[in-house]
A and B are shown apart, each in its own frame.
Chain A
Amino acid sequence: MQIIIKNVNLINPQQKLNKKTDLLIESGIIIRIGDIDISGYSDAEVYDFNGKYCAPGFYDMHVHLREPGREDKETVISGCNAAAAGGFTGVAAMPNTTPAADNAETIRFVKEKAQNHLVDVDPVGAVTMERKGESLAPMLELSEAGAVAFSDDGTAVKSAGILRKAMEYTKMINGVILEHCEEESLAGGAMNESEVSTHLGLPSIPTIAEDLIVNRDIILAEYLDSRIHISHISSKNAVDMVRQAKKKGIKVTAEVAPHHFSLTDESVKGYDTNYKMNPPLRQQKDLDAMIEGLKDGTIDCIASDHAPHTIEEKEVEFIYAPNGIIGLETQLGLVLTELYHKKHLSLEQIVEKLSINPRKVLGLKVPIIKEGELANLSIFDADAEWTVDIKKFKSRSINSPYGGKKLKGKPVAVINKAKMFTNGEMKSI
């Protein structure tokens, strides 16, 4: 099948590409880039995407697909549908499933579930068995089965001792550990520690819980000359530490979630559990530091930390509610609204943080827009205004604080693996 995309702005900083042109895609392969006269292709499906942008497919390196174990919250397929609807062609699936992805069987299971879907699913393996921080998971075997990185996400790797072993071990395969940075003895609160937590009488998690582990991990990465990736960074001090570490040449990378550059802990007033996540929403100074970090390159990637939970789990007392919100279907809109339209990042920088850098951190091939290459593309309208409607989510869950929010910029279509998703429908091309 042939697809012709007319008048789209191709954008890929890695190829220094930013031009308006046409694309011919046949059986999922880019056949031609340049002016195309549609009269010569009577069988082709033609999409006029005039004024819209086409980037190498966006990749969300931090999602919880919940399968196996909590298919009531999300499945690999429903999560992939949410990713496609949100403008993403690939996701990395976190290992805190039941059972945890500390075995090759679970890694293969997740990959197999997604094999016929448009969205690439790359499982992340656990660092330690059952993510308990006591003994190493078989990371070489997990890698062989398809794990692209390792994480005990939900908690930090429990001790410096075991993390050291894990960092040494994964160096053999140039692997990377994605670290949820939170010092256990300061954890357990329901929101950020600030005058707002004092005001609300809620148990709190201080930013130093994050800072201490970021610091620990950077010191280990330097000592061992190993890689470390800071997941969902949220504190100003942590951003400062990553910036300093990068200056010293330490192999540290970082990602931030859209809620940490768009909301503060003021939102917790009202006790809506859709504002409860971990790391928690921080203060304005931290939010500003996220944007600064994104601008100067300290923060490499943007990832949603898509964390589906059922209505009945979230509609409870604040301290009992589980942490996390879904984010795949609001992420691109938030990035464009909060970062592009507020003139913090250019579209090129956004493509780097949503497509190129996440794949580089995970050691994946970055798609390029070139004749003869597989079409792995995200097409988006940077200016379309829309209102988030949680009822329209493809995700199986609706735990989002952004329902009713007006956003500027939205996904239009994604193409990958000879499939296309647009206007709410998936088809083979």
Chain B
Amino acid sequence: MPLTTKHLLGLEGVTREDIQLILDTATTFREVLERPIKKVPTLKGKTVVNLFFENSTRTRISFELAQKRLSADTVNFSASQSSTKKGETLKDTVRNIEAMKVDMIVVRHESAGVPNFLTQISKANIINAGDGAHEHPTQGLLDMYSIREKYGKLEGLKVCIVGDITHSRVALSNIYGLKTMGAKVSVCGPASMIPWDIEKLGVKVFSRIDDAIAENDVLNVLRIQLERKAGASIPSIREYHNFFGITRERLEKHSKKPLILHPGPINRGVELSSEVADGPYQVILDQVTNGVAVRMAVLYLLGTMN
């Protein structure tokens, strides 16, 4: 059964069946990753370009490994070495790359909507690796995979996304994907980091982390992006940690401990204390491994459609 979508621009509007198919396919690839030779010939002859206009180490490496393990030919393009600095438009950059005959483009960009724009100027399959504060669908999928791996299901689970929701691309992908799969989604963070009218997406808002811990099966804890705009939204990192940081003491107040996810990289001592980051309730490194499997699944399903 093929996917019903040619591109993965976001998890909004992706059907339950498609998500199910990606997660199930990822399970197969997850097994491949445990083999001594972690490579399958599935995408032999396909060319994938990783078009990263924003710095990213782990997402790019994860995609690149996924592509290599599927035997695809991969090329990396990053903004620092790119022609955009020389004044070339995104449209020209993409058309040039496409003229070199590529099958798939994985794109990350600081502007929301760029993957969408690429579908209008390119014939390749487009995979969104993060656009502005919009979506990061493979992160959403790997989060769902990791939750399902632990709980055996997604339906009926309560998942809370914690942190700077306004500037997050992970939050929307989690919200759309998890809701489609029947989970109950909430967000928690300082009110200055909660986007306008988020409730209209069918999401509950917690303003106290203790309530979020008490009422949820999963906390997906976002990185406070010290290098980004977070600075203007909160008084200090110290205050954030004191009121929203997840610590062993906070978790121990509750008999039922939520599963802790984090998309990485972690600011230890800010959103998570070291004890929690390394503790028994987190699956942070599993997420990283699952990320490769999920991206293999997406690349495989989109790359073998025609």
Contact = CB atoms under 8 A, between A and B. Distances in A.
B196 A194 contact: yes
B195 interface: yes
B195 A202 contact: no
Interface in A298-316: 312, 315-316
B131 interface: yes
Interface in B183-206: 195-198, 200-201
A198 B196 contact: yes
Most buried by B among A195, A203, A317: A317
Contact of A200 (B89, B112, B197): B112
A121 B13 CA distance: 49
A202 B117 contact: no
Contacts of B197: 194-195, 198
Given A195-B196, A198-B201, A202-B132, A317 B169 contact: no
B90 interface: yes
A427 interface: no
Contact of B116 (A199, A271, A312): A271
Nearest to A313: B89
A195 B110 CA distance: 20
Contacts of B109: 317
A315 B196 contact: no
Most buried by A among B111, B117, B132, B134: B111
Interface string B79-120: 000000000011100000000000000000111111011000
Nearest to B229: A203
Interface residues of B, number: 25
A312 B111 contact: no
Given A198-B196, A204-B196, A316-B90, A271 B113 contact: yes
Interface string A252-273: 0000000000000000001100
A319 B112 contact: yes
B172 A317 contact: no
B113 A317 contact: yes
A386 to B, nearest CB: 27
A316 B93 CA distance: 11
Interface in A102-159: none
B89 A315 contact: yes
Nearest to B53: A317
A352 interface: no
Contacts of A201: 112, 131-135, 169, 172
A198 B195 contact: yes
B116 A270 contact: yes
Contacts of B172: 199, 201
B222 to A, nearest CB: 14
B113 A318 contact: yes
Given A201-B133, A202-B134, A312-B89, A317 B117 contact: yes
A236 to B, nearest CB: 16
Contact of A317 (B90, B133, B135, B201): B90
A271 B112 contact: yes
A367 B114 CA distance: 49
A89 interface: no
B113 A316 contact: no
25 contacts: A193-B196, A195-B197, A197-B195, A198-B196, A198-B201, A199-B12, A200-B112, A200-B134, A201-B131, A201-B132, A201-B133, A201-B135, A201-B169, A202-B112, A202-B134, A203-B133, A270-B116, A271-B117, A315-B91, A316-B89, A317-B113, A317-B117, A318-B111, A318-B114, A319-B112
Interface of B: 12, 89-91, 109-114, 116-117, 131-135, 169, 172, 195-198, 200-201
Interface of A: 193-195, 197-204, 206, 270-271, 312, 315-320
For the complex of A and B, 9 pairs with smallest distance between CB atoms = A201-B134, A271-B113, A317-B111, A195-B197, A201-B112, A201-B133, A195-B200, A319-B111, A198-B195
Given A201-B133, A318-B113, A319-B110, 13 more contacts: A198-B196, A199-B201, A201-B112, A201-B132, A201-B134, A201-B169, A202-B112, A203-B133, A271-B112, A315-B89, A316-B91, A317-B90, A318-B114
